[in-house]
Amino acid sequence: MCFIHLQESLELHLARQTPATSFGSTVPAVDDELRMDAVAPKRKASQDLERGPAKRPKVSSEDEEDNLTSPATCTVSTDASALREVAAKQAARVQRLETELDESEYHQHELTARLYQWDDKISRLELLDLQRDEAQHRELSSAVKKLENINKEKWTSRLHAQKVVYEGRLADAQAQFKVKIAAKHQSYQDKVDELKDQHEEAIQAKQEAHQKRIEEFKSKQAEALTAEKVAFEKKMGWNREKSQKVAADAKKFAAGKAAESKAIKEEYATLTRAAKAELKEALAKAKPEQSDTVKEKNAMIKKQSSELHQLQSNLDASQKHSKTREDTIKSLESDKKALEATIEQNSMEVAALQADVTAKGIELDSATSIHDYEKDNLLDRVEREEKRWQVQYNAAQNTAALLKDQQRANFELRNMASRRDQRIGALTADLESVRAELELSKGGAGAEMLTDVGVGGESDEVEAAGTVGGEVVDAVGGPTGHGDELEQQP
């Protein structure tokens, strides 16, 4: 159908470009018949040959008037002989034109028959080509289907092999990853156990050392307290006994000294009184100013006074020593309280260390739980990434298959389009050559008829058909003739 439409458009274009001939309406009618017959190429040539010869063209009244009113006719009308000659010439010309017209009609019918034969041959060839193309198309489609099936099987086998390889690699990777994860987890668990053991050993060692230090400190403190208590008791007992003894001695000494001083005082008083009495008596007797007896008495009084002062100082010293002993006892009691506070502080430090050990254990447990949670998250993420990669791989494989199918279909469409264009070009070239030969033969016959008739003058003949190299050429551009070139065509 596309070829028929293209043929019709080419015929209409040629009809527009073909100039009108100058010998009546016979040639356009024949041209229209050829054009209408070319539209239907499947019509048989025998039906066209049965039509018979075309009607003889009639000379119009205008042509007769032109012939009658021509200068030659006017000049010869006065003479009868000239008129007879002109009539004979005109009759001969008309006869010759009729014979040539019959010949041209015969050639025209022959060309039409050959054109129909050619069109029938073209249609048969086209039908054969179409059948061949259809068979080739079927073979090509079957071959393409076979090739598609082969490629599909090949790609399916390749994809299956790649999938098997990928699954094997994935299984190996998963196994290796699981082994690595298990090894890392085992190493981490070993490190955690080792750290726990080290921490427990360190804590136990610290506790043992601390307990040992506490026990040593307690034993030392107990021993020191016991020693200090014993020493203090000894010291206090000795000091108490000594102080009691000293106090008793002091009291005795003081009592003795008091009694002695009292006796001395009494004796001094008595002696003083006696001395005064004697002095009075001596004064009364002699009144000596410097007497040895008085000097001795005064020296004895001074000595006794100094001894009394010495005893008083010893008493004060014993009282001071007893006060220092009391201060020492108070300081020892304060030291005892300080030792008790130190023991309490050490017990508090032990409790703090035990709390620190408990906190470290809780921290290790939380770190272990965090590690287990991170390990589970990592395994989940690995599984999700594996599924996502599998989906992307399948989508890529499907896209690649669709792309290859699309490229194969595009290649087949391009090949079919190129073959169609080549076929259309070949048919168009054949049609153009046939049309050119037809127009060439038709234009040559019309030009000879116009030359013989002489209607329109030489200018009309030159306008209708030019001269190329001494040959008369029609408006289409081919040399005149009666279809010799067409007969040479295969």
Same-domain status, 233 and 136 = no
Does a structural domain hold residue 265? no
Does a structural domain hold residue 172? no
Neighbours of 239 (CB within 10 A): 19
pLDDT higher than threshold 50 for residue 183: yes
Domain boundary among 388, 415, 442: 388
Same-domain status, 18 and 153 = yes
Same-domain status, 44 and 117 = yes
pLDDT confidence bin for 54, thresholds 50/70/90: very low
Same-domain status, 140 and 218 = no
Q: How far apart are the first and last CA of the chain?
A: 26
**319, two tokens:** 């009282």
pLDDT higher than threshold 50 for residue 490: no
Q: How far is Cα 468 from Cα 472, in angstroms, rounded to an integer? A: 7
DSSP per-residue codes, 15-78: HHHSPPPSSTTHHHHHHHHHHHHHH-TTS-HHHHHTT-SPPPPPPPHHHHHHHHTSHHHHHHTT
pLDDT higher than threshold 80 for residue 427: yes
Whether the full predicted model's pTM is greater than 0.75, yes or no, is: no
58 vs 203: which has the higher pLDDT: 203
pLDDT higher than threshold 80 for residue 131: no
In this prediction, residues 45-51 reach a mean pLDDT of 44
460 vs 129: which has the higher pLDDT: 129
Domain boundary among 388, 420, 452: 388
Q: Which of 52-56, 135-139, 179-183, 299-303 has the lowest mean pLDDT?
A: 52-56
pLDDT higher than threshold 80 for residue 408: yes
pLDDT of residue 177: 76
Highest mean pLDDT among 119-133, 390-404, 459-473: 390-404
In this prediction, residues 76-96 reach a mean pLDDT of 70
In contact, 12 and 468? CB cutoff 8 Å: no
Same-domain status, 23 and 150 = yes
Does a structural domain hold residue 413? no
Same-domain status, 32 and 148 = yes
pLDDT of residue 384: 87
Does a structural domain hold residue 369? yes
pLDDT confidence bin for 109, thresholds 50/70/90: low
Does a structural domain hold residue 24? yes
Highest mean pLDDT among 3-7, 208-212, 294-298: 208-212
Q: Which of 10-24, 160-174, 468-482 has the lowest mean pLDDT?
A: 468-482
Tens of pLDDT along 258-301? 676 677 667 767 766 776 777 676 665 554 455 566 667 667 77
Tens of pLDDT along 216-248? 777 777 777 777 777 766 766 666 676 667 667
Domains held by the chain: number? 2
Does a structural domain hold residue 351? yes
Same-domain status, 143 and 186 = no
pLDDT higher than threshold 60 for residue 428: yes
**309, two tokens:** 């002062």
Which residues are CB-contacts of 120 (< 8 A; sequence separation ≥ 6)? Answer: 41, 42, 43, 44, 45
In this prediction, residues 310-319 reach a mean pLDDT of 75
pLDDT of residue 145: 75
Q: Residue 243: is it exposed, middle or buried by C-beta count within 10 angstroms (0-12/13-18/19+)?
A: middle
pLDDT higher than threshold 70 for residue 307: yes
pLDDT of residue 406: 82
Q: Which of 39-48, 71-80, 438-447 has the lowest mean pLDDT?
A: 39-48
Tens of pLDDT along 347-380? 788 778 778 878 877 888 888 888 888 888 888 8
Same-domain status, 243 and 312 = yes
Q: Residue 118: is it exposed, middle or buried by C-beta count within 10 angstroms (0-12/13-18/19+)?
A: buried
What's the domain range around 242? 182-258+289-388
Q: Which of 41-50, 204-213, 245-254, 258-267 has the lowest mean pLDDT?
A: 41-50
Nearest to 319 by CA among 254, 255, 258, 261: 254
Same-domain status, 19 and 149 = yes
pLDDT higher than threshold 80 for residue 437: yes
Does a structural domain hold residue 201? yes
pLDDT confidence bin for 462, thresholds 50/70/90: very low
Same-domain status, 345 and 225 = yes
134 vs 51: which has the higher pLDDT: 134
Does a structural domain hold residue 175? no
Same-domain status, 76 and 213 = no
Domain boundary among 334, 360, 388: 388
Same-domain status, 158 and 196 = no
